[in-house]
Each structure stands twice: as structure tokens, then as C-alpha cells.
Structure 1
Amino acid sequence: MIKKTFYFGNPVYLSLKNAQLVIKLPEIVKNNTLPEGFKQTSEVTKPIEDIGVVVLDNKQITVTSGVLETLLENNCAIITCDSKSMPVGLMLPLYGNTTQNERFRQQLDASLPLTKQLWQQTIRAKIENQAVVLSECAGEEIKCMKVWAADVKSGDLDNLEARAAAYYWKNLFKIEGFTRDREGIPPNNLLNYGYAILRAVVARGLVISGLLPTLGIHHHNRYNAYCLADDIMEPYRPYVDRLVYGMVKKGLNYTELTKELKAQLLTIPTLETNISGKRSPLMVAVGQTTASLYKCFSGELRRIFYPEM
């Protein structure tokens, strides 16, 4: 079953009762003139086992320790946002797999040739998916993208990822002054938010598969706690790009990240993908990808399973 994404953008009380997430509005809780029976009927409860991602986007949200504990025990990713409503923090369970210690050791012992081959597969899949998005959305020529994808060598020593990215972003959003930059003009704000949601989904998948999200196969920034998540999410980024392109194409006002825009971006875990010849929601596909990555570290496989657009 696909896990649900919960977004809280208003003041709210979140507590735990009988393994259920209890959602209360503070204006009702604090109103002493209301009868107790009405207060209880105004509560909303949701099974915590059905939740995969929780986004907390308001400074007046109150969350009990019991809620956090139970969410993490159920392998939920918890995202906190800053004053600009951009994801700024990510909380994941420490123990996501029963054989975690063994899996950590296999990941740590991965050889350099193996990690280079895995990065080659990752970048090849990313460029191929970018080519599909560029063709479908912008109707651009993608022959060069196909060539670059086929020419990616072990470890991507020729940095074809950067070459493909330059061509891709130049031709996807034909908006005056647009370049793909975290601090750049819109729709960079939509891309940033979408990638943050995607990153949380991938990090969650890695933890469930018993892997260290910190230890990347390519990214090794000493200040980045999610290097492996940043590696593995690369072929999934085009799904976010296609979603954002559709939002821009509709003529929506995307200069500010409104709740309506965020609602569309929060559908990312449920976007349809095609992986191993079958259609799956993105969150399920990520689980297949991270499980196959572990099998590559353990020697059971030599190829990561990535979605094809």
C-alpha cells in the first residue's frame, strides 16, 4: 500500500492515541466555552501506519514526543520548514532494518570500481530520463542527450552529467533569465521544494533498506548528511521537473510558493513511474531502487533498478 503524505501548514496540535495520530485545532482546544463532547468530536484521527511523509510548515505546530517516536518507528520521514516555507530539516528513524549492522558493513566495504559502476548507471538513467522530459515537454531535439547517456563511462570521468544538464536546462524552461540555480528566479522555488520532498522519500527508502544515507557513491561533501540520498535521487529528478513544467505551462502564478502549489508538489510520492517493466507510485519505485542498491553492495546484483520515463 502506498504511504500517505501529510502536510500541516496551520497551527495544530498533534498527539497520539491508540496508535492513531490525533489532530486538534488549537482554537477549539483553548476555547473553554465549548462542551467537552464537541471538542472530542472535532478531533481527526489517522492511522500512523499509513503515513510515509509528514511536512510541518508552521511555527505554531505542537507535536508530542509520542507522535515523533511512533512516526519514526513506522519508518516515516518528518520534514520541517523554515519561515519561507522551504524544507529545512529532515528526521529519519535510526533503525530501519533488522540486519542494519550487516548492511552498513557491506556498504562501507564497497569497492571503488563498484561505486564507480553504480554512479555510471545512475547518471546514464538520469540523462535518459531528462531526454524524455525534454522531448515530451519542450519538443526539443534529444539525439545529443541519447549519445551522452550511452557514452557515460565508469565514474562519469568525462562529466557528461554536467554537459547534459547544461543543454537540458537551457531548453526546458524558456523563461527569460532562467538558469537552474537554488537561489535563482522562479520556477527554481518550485524545483527546490519538489527536490526536497523527493530527497526525503529517497532518504526514507535508504533507511528502510538498511543503508547509511550519509555515505554516498559519488557525493562526499563533509557537511552533507544525505550524500547517498542525493546520489540515488538523480534519475528521479526528471519526474519533479516534468511536474513543475506542467504547473508553469498551466499559466499559474508561481512567483510565490502558495499552499495550492505546494499541494501539487506534495503529490510527488504518488507520481506514476515505470520500473522493471511495471507501473508503480514513485515512493514504491524508490523502495525497489534502494533494495536493489543494497543487493549491489552485498554482491547479489550488479545493477541498480531505476525507473524509465
Structure 2
Amino acid sequence: MEQEALLPAPSEARIVEIGEAGRSISFAHGNIAIAGDEGVIERIPILEIAGMVVWCPGLSWSGSALAALSERGAGIVVCEPNYRSRMLSWPMSGRRWPGRIRAQMEMDGPFARHLLRGLAKARDDQRDAVLGAMGRGNALKALRKASKPTIGSSQMSRDRKQADVAKQIDRHYWPWLAGPGFRRDLLKEDGNAVINFAHTMLRVEATRAVHKAALHPSIGLGSGRGKGGLIDDLMLPYRPVVDLAAALLIATGQRKLDEAARAMIVRLFTAPMRGRRGLMQIRMGLEELALSLANCIESGKPMLEIRLPAIKDPSAIYDQMTDVRGQESERDDQVSGWG
């Protein structure tokens, strides 16, 4: 039996959060400095930063800080007060960038949609696994079966039918996952803010993966190319496990997003999880998926490799987020919270 490869330590890169007004961010001597009225609060080595999440007014940046983060490949996501992502900064660098962007732009529609169907199927399979682990069996399969196109139907009617079924699935999915009284509302600041933040963190990690693969985020795979963008496409297979993590926090009484909840969600992306081929991390899975997608686009062969965590016991996911062994030092390594 092969020995499982050791995973890199989660402390190799961290997500920096900034949530308090009046902060300023600068760069000098290889460090990002976060300062307030009282002076410099912390200096973070640029090599330790995987991305930044910001949701505060009155924030100022130096040009050198933005340039350093761009060179590092660290995306910046700006959120609303309810942690819903609203803006993404995108680093542009890398020798492979021009060739892969050209291949993305020249990709024909049927090939792109074939790749997207593969990502959507992986998401659906993971949703089934999540609901199965929660005791809901194959609750979504009947709804998805209704979305199968009839012979001779136009692309427009197929898209409309699938959109209607997607709305039905969303209407049932969250009450099944987070409790019968729960309703998904992006604008609410209750348990919905927990989900918003979890999705924002997934977006940060997907952004990082897309940049490392030298792909362009706005050239998506769907028929509305650029509508949701490649980052939304790449997020699809990993949404269910992130949804499950957020729902578990809500179920344990985490109705508001405090610093401890944010740290638990951040920990999810670098926690070792069981996959089909041994241990994995969501962060590593996204990077491998983005690289596989880039290879498919360049070669014209739809051989997409999607590595996902096995979802059998929800308590195992929760334990990964709430692991108290070295919790304080791990939190320092993974997340800086300002507010």
C-alpha cells in the first residue's frame, strides 16, 4: 500500500482580512504593512500572503503595495458589509499568460460547454454526497432529471428550462442543508453572512488558482462567456463542501460572523481532507483543477481532472474547522483579522 504524501503546511500562505475603517496598506523591505491611527499594527512578509479580503470604508493603498501583491499573484476581493464579494483585483503576469489567453479566446463554444458540463456534474455529484451525508439521500436527482432537454428543443429553450430548474434546486437545497426555516438571502446579515463569507473565501482561492494557471478570469466557459467568468466556473465543484461547512456552523448556533467563525472558514481551505487519492486540500485541488483546465484548453482535449474531498461524515468537516490543536498559532498563520 502506497504511503500518503505529506501535505505542505497551511502556514505557507495566508489570507489577510481587513475589516476596520481607516487602515492604510503599504509595502517596504519585502513586507506588507497594515497601519492605523496608532501606527503600524502588523508587518506581513509578502511571500506569506495568498490573498486579501477587505470590507471596510476609508481604506488606503500605496501603489507599491498593490504592485507587490500583483507580482505575488495575490488577488484582492472587496466585500459589502454582509461579506458578499463585489470587486476583484486581478494580477497580470507570467510568461505563459499571452499564449493561454489566446487559447481561451479561440476556444469554440461546444468545447467550452463540454468542459462546463464536467464541472457542473462534479458539483451535482458533490451536492448529492453532501445531502446524502445529511440524511437527504438523492433528493436533488428528481429535480435535475426534469431539466434534461427534449429532442429538437432549441438552445434558448434548454437554457431557460435549466435556469428554472436551478431556481427550484436552490429553493430546496438550503432548507435541506441548513434547516427547514432557513432561506438564502444574499443581503441578510444573519447566517447568510456566514455563507457569503465562505463563498468569498472560495472565490479568493479560485482567483489564486486561476492566476497560477495563467488563465484570464473573465473568459468563462458558459454560453454567456464573461457573465460569471472562469472563477465562477472553477468554483462549481467545490461549492457543496463549502456550503456544508457554512451550514454546519449555522446549525451549531453561529448566526453571526465573528472572528472565530471567520478563522474556522479560512482553516477549511488548507485543512487536510480525504480524497480518492489520499490526502488533499481544497486549495491544492483548485490549483490542480485550474492547471488541468489550462492544459485542456491548450491541447483541445477535454481530459479534465477534478480532485475533490470525500464527503461521508459531516462531523469530520466540522472537526477540521474547529481543531483546537495549536489553534492560536494556526490562526496567526492563516488569517489576520482587523474587525
**Shorter-chain TM-score above 0.5:** yes
TM superposition shift of 1:63: 2.6
Structure 2 unaligned runs (5+)? 1-7, 150-154, 311-339
Q: Is the 8 A contact 1:145 1:164 kept in 2?
A: no
Q: Distance in 2 between matches of 1:161 and 1:83?
A: 27
Counterpart of 1:18 in structure 2 is 29
Question: Which consecutive segments of 4 or more residues in structure 1 shift more than 6 A?
Answer: 155-158
Work out which of the residue numbers 63, 75, 86 in structure 1 matches 2:61.
63
Q: Is the 8 A contact 2:53 2:76 kept in 1?
A: yes
Q: Deviations over 1:24-65 (max 9, x none)?
A: 4422x3xxxxxxxxxxxx763221012111122332443322
Which structure carries more relative contact order (alpha carbon 8 Å, separation 6+)? 2
Q: Cα gap change, 1:59/1:185 in structure 2, threshold over 3 Å: closer, same or farther? A: closer
Counterpart of 1:32 in structure 2 is none
TM superposition shift of 1:262: 2.8
Q: Distance in 2 between matches of 1:85 and 1:185?
A: 8
Q: Cα gap change, 1:203/1:43 in structure 2, threshold over 3 Å: closer, same or farther? A: closer
Q: Distance in 2 between matches of 1:144 and 1:59?
A: 41
Counterpart of 1:142 in structure 2 is 138
For residues 32-47 of structure 1, the aligned pairs below 5 Å read 44-47=42-45
SS of the equivalent of 1:23 reads strand
Counterpart of 1:6 in structure 2 is 16
Q: Distance in 1 between matches of 2:86 and 2:113?
A: 30
Q: Cα gap change, 1:148/1:86 in structure 2, threshold over 3 Å: closer, same or farther? A: closer
Work out which of the residue numbers 187, 205, 209 in structure 1 matches 2:209.
205
Q: Distance in 2 between matches of 1:279 and 1:161?
A: 32
Q: Cα gap change, 1:235/1:251 in structure 2, threshold over 3 Å: closer, same or farther? A: same
For residues 46-57 of structure 1, the aligned pairs below 5 Å read 46-57=44-55
Counterpart of 1:251 in structure 2 is 253
For residues 87-102 of structure 1, the aligned pairs below 5 Å read 87-95=85-93, 97-102=94-99
Counterpart of 1:82 in structure 2 is 80
**Does residue 1:123 correspond to 2:133, yes or no?**
no
Count of paired positions: 287
Supply the RMSD in Å over aligned alpha carbons. 3.1
Counterpart of 1:171 in structure 2 is 176
Structure 1 unaligned runs (5+)? 30-41
Counterpart of 1:35 in structure 2 is none
SS of the equivalent of 2:16 reads strand
Q: Is the 8 A contact 1:212 1:228 kept in 2?
A: yes
Overall identity of the aligned pairs, in %: 19
Normalising by structure 2, report the TM-score. 0.73
